Structure 1
Amino acid sequence: MSKTVTFVILLLLVIKTSVVCRAQCSQGAIICETFGSGPRGLLPQGITNFTYRARACPDDGEYTLLDTVSGDCHGQAWHPILEDHTPNDVRGNMFVVNASYQPSEFYSQKVAGLCPGVIYEFSLWALNLNRILTAGACDEYILRNPIIAMRIEQPDGTLIKEIIQPAITRTATPIWVSLSMQFSIPTSSNDIVVKLVNKGLGGCGNDLVIDDIGFRPVHPGLSIQFSNSPDAETTVCADTRLSLTVGTATGYISPAYLWQQSQDNVTWTAIPNATLSTYAINPVRPGRTYYRLRNTQSINASAVGRAQCSAESNVLVVNGLPDSPFSLGPDQVLCEGTTQAIPAPTSLPAGTTFVWSDQSKSQNLTVSLAGTYWLETNFNGCTYRDSVIVESQNCRLDDIYVPDAFTPNNDTHNDQLVVFHAGAFLTYSFRVFDRWGNLIFVSRQIDVSWDGTFLNRPCSDGIYAWTADYSVLNPLNQTHHFVRSGRVMLVR
């Protein structure tokens, strides 16, 4: 006969390992142990101190993994179990235990990488294998039922929490019972040790089957929504702005936030610098994009992207309608007194309509003045606009402009006599004369201007004559030589 109860949980040493769970495991489970299906050998070393026996009816202190349990074991003392607890688990295995005599700790596993202040749940499904017996070989014994203590400690042995589960009573037919406990770890540690202690005494009974062991975070509610719509999915024009915001966020005071996005609702990436309770998509991208939010206690801000440390919101879907992006090209220069045509792009998608800044819809926009001009397109109800700046320039390279007055009074405005020219000089000489015809200034560089002095002394107010001798290349790359003269008023 069996003597006491056991229990094993296959928690992973590395919590962030991904586990694919069957339907029985809770959403977001870090651990989901269903014991697999089909032939299965002994459990990994260190999980339990019981002895593995590959047979249908293990003896005291032994365990096995089976997809069915025979009702003939130990003088028909056990219920026949035709399938495990996991739904849709074809030939799924159960952990079948015939426990030892004395109460003792029978499971200990360190779990690393958790987060303080987050609630975790440790759960399993158990079944009392023992039938309700009539008089027989065990009359002299108390027919004991399984009692399991679930204990959570810090690595140094400090107790965090312990739950002694009620005894799993015998029933006329086999019935699965759910056992669970919740806890949070203190701020001094991110690691815990899970221990299971058998509180039952040896003797007749106390035999057990276990399945669907789970370990998961239990996060508070978190939801997100569009700022201007209650829907979970929206369709907008690409290259526009769309705002997302928190709908509900209970449980965490001053939480840390992290927005995430995905192209397939499977692989998620963090959105750079998106750590507030609202997020502006600017701009919306063409195609389908999924968005969700995570939050956690502020102490876990560095781990907000990890499922075991943060709550996960619902998913919002944004469908970005493709527009017709285009470019009018670089800014342009317009020669004074001429006109210039700005063409509409020829690569616009079929069905695109457009309008120019003057509300015309022709293929080209003809401009004759400097300014900013734009073209706006409409494709599938989505608009897109690009602008081009047109600057006016004196394209007559033989002309120069010399102001007829300047004020060299050191007020940083019009302090020098500057010669203006639209192009570049091949040769250049600029001279200034006083009223008696004396040469008082010479420059052979366009960027060296007269500052109203002679021999480093300010010249008096009055009229001064100038001459400019220069040569330039014309549009046909021919050299032309010019001499210009004029007069300027010096005013202080």
Structure 2
Amino acid sequence: MNKCAVALSLFLLLATASVCQAQCSEGAIICETFGSGPKGPLPQGVTNFRYVSKACPDDGEYTVLDTVAGSCHGEAWHAVREDHTPNDVRGNMFVVNASYQPSEFYSQKVAGLCPGVVYEFSLWALNLNRILQAGACDDYSLRNPIIAMRIELPDGTLINEVVQPAIARSATPTWTPLSMQFSIPTSGNDIVVKLINKGLGGCGNDLVIDDISFRPIHPVLNIQFPGSSAAEMTVCADTQLKLTVGAAPGYVNPVYLWQQSQDNINWTPAPNGNQATYVINPVRAGRTYYRLRNTQAINAAAVGSAQCSSVSNVLVVNGRPDSPFSLGDDLALCQGLAKVLGKTDAWPAGTTFLWSDQSTNATLKVTTPGTYWLETSLNGCTYRDTVEVNHQNCRLSDIYVPDAFSPNGDAYNDQFLVLHEGLFTTFAFRVYDRWGSVIFFSQQADIGWDGTYRNRPCSADVYAWTVDYSVMDQTNKEEHFVRSGRVLLVR
């Protein structure tokens, strides 16, 4: 197994570039394992101890090794044949021989954390000293490591410190877990983590450190199908399904982010998923995974980050396939014509049909305006779509001009008018005598010729006419037309 350090891009704690198999805390965003294979000194500023490349460092010195020889200091140390991770191939450890006086031996700045989130800082430590009889060594006092784990702001302000119990000696090399929890004040995002050996050096107090990890500890968050404890539900596709927060609500007064996935690995935001309840509308055909993240409002911009937010359990929604279709947009039906509704290509096998007129064919021929719907059923799942069919004058350019009129005052056919079902956008109507002179002109379609010229009745005869007009077509485009003909004036 290779070792590695896993870290977010926003901060790095002595990370290595290998594939991570080390035994850090579950969910760790930082996992410092000190790498594998030959290793030199740690980066400057991480420790104020003196680096040595020899196998047995003296007081105030450290080294980084994959094994510790049992021959060190008169065989006072354990022979440690591998690091904390079992079966690790040449995995390294941080080997420290304490100073005579209590001192800080590890320090690292961590930037970009989430305010108000509880974090756990943990590591594994091993007392290198074997169980020995007291001798003439520091007044017969055999000393053990006493580690203080300390969290500070960059300016030195203490956030929290935990002094761990002394790590006892053991008959065989024994790794001991050490950990502490803390939260960052809302005024900052950066901290400094420190390890301080509170014990005295000299006769004992020698140790090995491995697998330093750093992880957020979020409140438990769970989601559920309302009224059900099931983790998986099968419903008809193209229906609605509600998901909601369960008994464990995560953060108090949070912001929310619902997420969905097709493989339970790659997650994307669910549409409009920023409330405690999420309505899937419509359910997709096939298998879809859903989960919820929430965090405090101060971390709203990072609600999708594992570091800053609680993440819920996963619910699985199986959409049973139906027979989805579309009748299309509302449509216009030309008077005297018919249209066929419904698709004419293949439907899924087993699909049944029910139209608004109760017919059960795959298509429906309509000849009149009205509201029409179709329901398809497949595997017990119903899908419906509705369309409005409206009447339309499909010959907008057509006009009607009578071929005769009788202006005799009987209130019937007394005017020579141009008739049209729609509206003109431009209009010019002229009547001519037999010599081609204009004897009537109108730019208003509702004003026709009354059979007079200069307030004197015209004689019964045949008169020529022209009409120059424009109308809007079905695509709202203006079209221009010129029509002409003859009319008989009857007296």
The alpha-carbon distance between structure 1 residues 130 and 286, as it changes in their structure 2 partners (threshold 3 A), is same
Range with greater deviation from structure 2 (374-383 or 18-27): 18-27
Q: Cα distance, 1:70 vs. partner?
A: 2.2
TM-superposed deviation, 1:330: 4.3
Measured against aligned partners, the alpha-carbon deviations of 1:100-147 in whole angstroms (never above 9, x if no partner) come to 222122222221112222211111111111011125563744211101
Q: CA deviation at 1:46?
A: 2.5
The Cα of 1:223 is off from its aligned counterpart by 0.6
Contact conserved, 1:12 with 1:111, CA < 8 A, in 2? Answer: no
**Distance in 2, Cα, partners of 1:236 & 1:69:** 61
* Structure 2: gaps of 5 or more residues: 403-416, 432-439, 448-464, 471-480
2:31 is paired with a residue of what secondary structure?
strand
Provide the rounded CA distance (Å) in 2 between the counterparts of 1:395 and 1:484. Answer: 30
Which AA in structure 2 matches 1:15?
F
Q: In 1, distance between residues paired with 2:384 and 2:295?
A: 41
Q: Which residue of 1 aligns with 2:55?
A: 56
> 1: CA distance between counterparts of 2:141 and 2:33?
32
Aligned to 1:318: 317
Take 2:249 and 2:233, find their aligned partners in 1: how far apart are those partners? 26
Verify the 8 A CA contact 2:400 2:419 in the aligned structure 1: no
CA pair 484-351 structure 1, distance change in 2 beyond 3 A: farther
Q: What is the aligned partner in structure 1 of residue 386 from structure 2? A: 387
Other structure's SS at 2:95 match:
strand
TM-aligned CA deviation for residue 419 of structure 1: 6.2
| Preserved contact between residue 67 and residue 92 of structure 1 (Cα < 8 Å) | yes
Q: CA deviation at 1:90?
A: 4.0
Q: For the residues of structure 2 that align with 1:13 and 1:50, how far apart are their CA atoms?
A: 28
**Contact 1:400–1:421, Cα closer than 8 Å, also in 2:** no
1:14 aligns with 2:4: no
Q: 1:71 matched to which residue of 2?
A: 70
CA distance in 2, matches of 1:300, 1:140: 55
**Normalised TM-score (structure 2):** 0.76
Taking only the aligned residue pairs, the percentage that are identical comes to 68
Match of 1:118 in 2: 117
* CA 363–297 in structure 1, closer or farther in 2 if over 3 Å, else same: closer
Determine the C-alpha separation between the residues in 2 that align with 1:313 and 1:348: 39
Query: 2: distance between equivalents of 1:483 and 1:386?
Result: 52
With over 3 angstroms needed to count, the CA separation of the structure-2 counterparts of 1:393 and 1:215, relative to structure 1, is closer
Unaligned runs of at least 5 residues, structure 1: 1-8, 402-416, 432-440, 451-467, 486-492
User: Given the alignment of the two structures, is residue 97 of structure 1 paired with residue 76 of structure 2, yes or no?
Assistant: no
The residue that corresponds to 2:412 in the other structure is: none
Deviations along 1:345-393, one digit per CA (max 9) or x if unpaired, are 3143344333322221224312232112122223444333333322224
| Structure number with higher relative contact order (C-alpha < 8 Å, ≥ 6 residues apart) | 1
For the structure 1 residues 10 and 127, does the alpha-carbon distance in structure 2 shift closer, same or farther, using more than 3 Å as the test?
farther
Matching of residues 262-301 of structure 1 within 5 Å: 262-271=261-270, 273-301=272-300
How many residue pairs were aligned? 431
Map 1:248-263 → 2, pairs under 5 A:
248-250=247-249, 252-263=251-262
Residues 191-210 of structure 1 aligned to structure 2 (within 5 Å): 191-210=190-209
How much does 1:482 deviate? 8.6
Q: Does 1:421 align with 2:421?
A: yes
Separation in 2, partners of 1:298, 1:426: 62
Residues 330 and 309 of structure 1, relative CA distance in 2, 3 Å threshold: closer
Instruction: Output the CA distance in 1 between the equivalents of 2:239 and 2:11.
Output: 40
The 3 A distance-change label for structure 1 pair 53 and 482 is farther
Classify the secondary structure of the residue corresponding to 1:300: helix
What is the RMSD computed on CA atoms of the aligned residues? 3.8
Cα distance change of structure 1 residues 471 and 36 upon mapping to structure 2, 3 Å threshold: same
